[in-house]
Each structure stands twice: as structure tokens, then as C-alpha cells.
Amino acid sequence: MTILTPRKISDLEYRIEQDSEYGMKVPVVIYANEYLLQKMIFDRTIEQAINVSTLPGVLKQVVVLPDGHQGYGFPVGGVAGMDAEEGIISPGSVGYDINCGVRLIRTNLTENDIRPKLTELVDHLFNSIPSGLHPKEGCVQLTTSQLDEVLVQGVKWLEVNGYATKNDLDVCEENGHIQNADPHKVSELAHNRGAPQVGSLGSGNHFLEIQKVQEIHDKEAAKTMGVFEGQITVLIHCGSRGLGHQVCTDYLKICEASYQKYGIELPDRQLACVPNTSEEGESYRKAMNAAMNFAWCNRQMITHYTRRTFESVLNQSESDLEMNLVYDVAHNSAKVEKHKIDGKEKSIVVHRKGATRAFPANSPDIPKKYQKIGQPIFIPGSMGSASWILLGNQNSLDLTFGSTAHGSGRIMSRTQAHKNYNYKQIIEEMQAKGIVLKSMTRYGVVEEAPEVYKDVDMIASISHDLKIATKVARLVPLGVIKG
């Protein structure tokens, strides 16, 4: 299709007005600078956002965040709100890795405390936490009935079984448990793929990093989170593994076979969808929610074994180390939320694909601990680059359905990365920065080189300047584990 030219509204906002000739029901708004916009125009990001704007029940505007890039049908770094009664739900608009997300663990340690044992810590973590595309087993093996309990109860099941604390639940999105999850809507194949993978890191851009807080930008928020300059933290980025991937695969097939009977016309079959209130839509949501609960449990089990590793290597207890969860936030989901549309509150299905919630202070859906400051957000970097802690802001509700960027966003394909970089080169760069890196494969390191991503500082700054999520702290890696 011909790409409509985005009109510049400001230095950080571009807009494509609703155009009925293209079937658009709402405008497309891109929050980016000129450099990032050109990257989006180069691939199919803008075209995909226009396609989303044609879907039934889409409301207000389709949003592309600064980390936006081409995805499966729906752009990664995209947000769209669909009328909960008259709109659709779309598996491809959530993505294959349902509830891929990020969590941050704080400690009371500094770099001087761990530098002498950093290599040992990284080695121990690498050996304790299965990683890679097809790990033979996770940290905990579940029977079919136990897996079903995990899919329904989420992290609550791990708390009962000694793998999580009450604080872990209190500072996890949805308290680590989203309701209306039904394991009977999850296929046997998805069950089989998920059962051995609880507590495994996965591959691709998933990682565990030991980091240092380099800069504090919001002292009040940092203090509330228990974060201080020079502090050692651990950032975990992974999702629902094979179970979530299979749920998406299964329901894409169901939607591809069903959408026409509902009179839905698609600009791209990858956007296959069904009415939110249809039998197929309800079934997908229940399966998606089960996968979300699985993902929170996956990150929680990794947290448990991270704590045990620090205890073992540093010969101190978890409580002595004050290894508390700061927050856990998802970035691939479709949730029913209430938002103001044309001044009226409506229930809408917010599809966030490669986008994270960014709710402001006093929002009922964020933990009591953060009611006065807003919801913590994490934008992870890639190996040698920084990561950011941000804070949800009121502007997010007005501009982005309460959302912000989830990462820095790729600017180079994996194939191109192999042409431009090699393993030895990247390892030498990491060593020069004092970063200890362990990876299951060499090609995974090359594909996730820092240079294949956009500048994470630029992404965080755009979010901050738009006041959809504001800067709290900048973190830099010391030790990295990749699948």
C-alpha cells in the first residue's frame, strides 16, 4: 500500500489523520523524533499502524511509541484501544511472547561488594537458570495438575509453595495473577511446551543482568523504590516461553478461520481477529490470561534462584542482602481497562505489543507502595547499553492509553547483524567495559549486539520529554546472561 506521509505536530509528535479512502477509522500518532521516524518509514511500521486503524471498534488513535518497529501484523512498540463491546481482540496484536516483561530486584550491595566475585556470580547464575531456545528443563518440574494451578493462580501458587514472598506479589503487575484464566482453553501442545520451562530464561533478546545504578534523576521516586546511586540491582527480561508462543499460534489459526463469518475485512491476514465478545474472543482471552500467569511465574522462579545464587556466592542471606522486588511489568498483553474517550469513560481492550503500562500516581491498578509517585517502568537495554527506571505520568492516560516504550527497538535484522559483527568483536567490547558475559550460543550474542538496537537513552528521553513516563534512574550492566 502507499504510505501516507506523517504530518509533524511537534519535534516529538507526528500524525496521520483519519483517511476513509484507506479504511482508517482513527488517526495514527507517532511519538518519535525525526531520526526514529525515518527508521519507522524505512520498514513497515507506519503501514502496519495504518492497518490497525482500520480494525472494527478501534478508538481515539493508534499509537506508535519511539521504540516502534515492524512486527507480526501489528508494530512492536504499538498501542491500540478497541471498544470492549463492539471491537475486536487480536492475538497478533499481542504477540507470540504473551506477557514478555521486565522485573527489577534491588540489593543493599555496591560494585565493590561484588566485583571480586562477579565472574563467579555470573557463572553460578548461568548454571542455575536454564536458558536458550529449548532448555531441557526449567528450575522446577510441574505435573499437569500443578501446571494448571500455575495457569490459574499465577505467582500466588509459588508463594504457597515457598518460591515467592508476599512483597513479590504486592509489587507485581496484577499481583502476579490475572483473573479469568482457563487452562482448558490452552491446548495440550501448549501445556507440553510449558511444563518443563518454568524458571527458564529463553533466547533472543531475553536476559538477566547484574547492573549498577549509575545516575539518579528523581530522588523521591528512587527512595520509595529503595534505589540509590552505586547500588547493585538485577534486571530480568523474559516471558511465557513455549506455552505463550503456542497459545498465540493456536488462536491465530482460530481467528484466521473465523474472522470472515463476523464480516471482518482485514488489510493484513496477520491481524486476524474476532469480536472481543465472541466465543473465540473469550476463549483467546482466557488462554492469554493463563499464559500471562505462566510468565509471571517464570520470572518469579528465576528471581528465586537468583536470590539463592547471591546467598551461596556471597555467603549472606536473602534478607541480609535485602533482595526485594521493586516491580514487575508486562509488555505484551490485551487487557480490558477504563479510559476516557471523548470525555466519557469507556471499557476498552488495550492491545500493548512491545509497550508497557505507565499509570500515574493514585491509579487504582498500581501497588499501594507506589500510589503517591506512580507506577515503576523499566526500559531494558542490550548487553553493553544502559537500562532505565521510569515512572508513570498523567500524560500517558491522555496520549497513549496509559503506556510507554518497552525497550529500545531493533534497527537491524538478525541477518544483517551477522554481516556487520562477530562474536570475538563483541566479547572484546564487553570486556573493555568490564562486563562479564555468558551466553548459550555465539550467534545469540551477535544478534543482540548493542548496535542493532536504537539508542535506549534517546528512547527514555523522548518518553520523559513527552511526560508519559519520567526518568528515575539509569542503570549500567556489570554481568550479563543471555540464552
Alpha-carbon span 348 to 238, nearest angstrom? 27
* 195 within 8 A of 186, measured Cβ to Cβ: no
Task: Characterise 92 by phi-psi region: left (phi > 0), alpha (psi -120 to 50), beta (else).
Answer: alpha
Is residue 1 exposed (0-12), middle (13-18) or buried (19+ Cβ within 10 Å)?
A: exposed
Task: Characterise 258 by phi-psi region: left (phi > 0), alpha (psi -120 to 50), beta (else).
Answer: alpha
> Which of 69, 124, 304, 406 is an active site residue?
406
Per-residue CA distances from 322 to 106, 107, 226, 238, 302 (Å): 7, 5, 10, 23, 17
Alpha-carbon span 22 to 18, nearest angstrom? 9
Catalytic annotation on 406? yes
Dihedral of the alpha carbons of 198, 199, 204, 206, in degrees to the nearest 10: 130
Largest CA distance in the chain: 67
Alpha-carbon span 106 to 205, nearest angstrom? 22
Which residues fall within 8 angstroms of residue 407, CB to CB, at 6 or more apart? 67, 205, 331, 354, 379, 380, 381, 453, 456, 459
Nearest to 238, CA basis, from 97, 359, 137: 97
The DSSP H or E segment spanning 307 is: helix 279-314
Alpha-carbon span 4 to 9, nearest angstrom? 15
Q: What is the CA radius of gyration of the chain?
A: 21
The DSSP H or E segment spanning 155 is: helix 155-160
> Nearest-5° angle of CA 396, CA 401, CA 405?
65
Alpha-carbon span 274 to 263, nearest angstrom? 10
Helices (H), 195-278: 219-225, 241-258
Nearest to 114, CA basis, from 385, 313, 355, 292: 313
Q: Among all residues, which ones are annotated catalytic?
A: 406
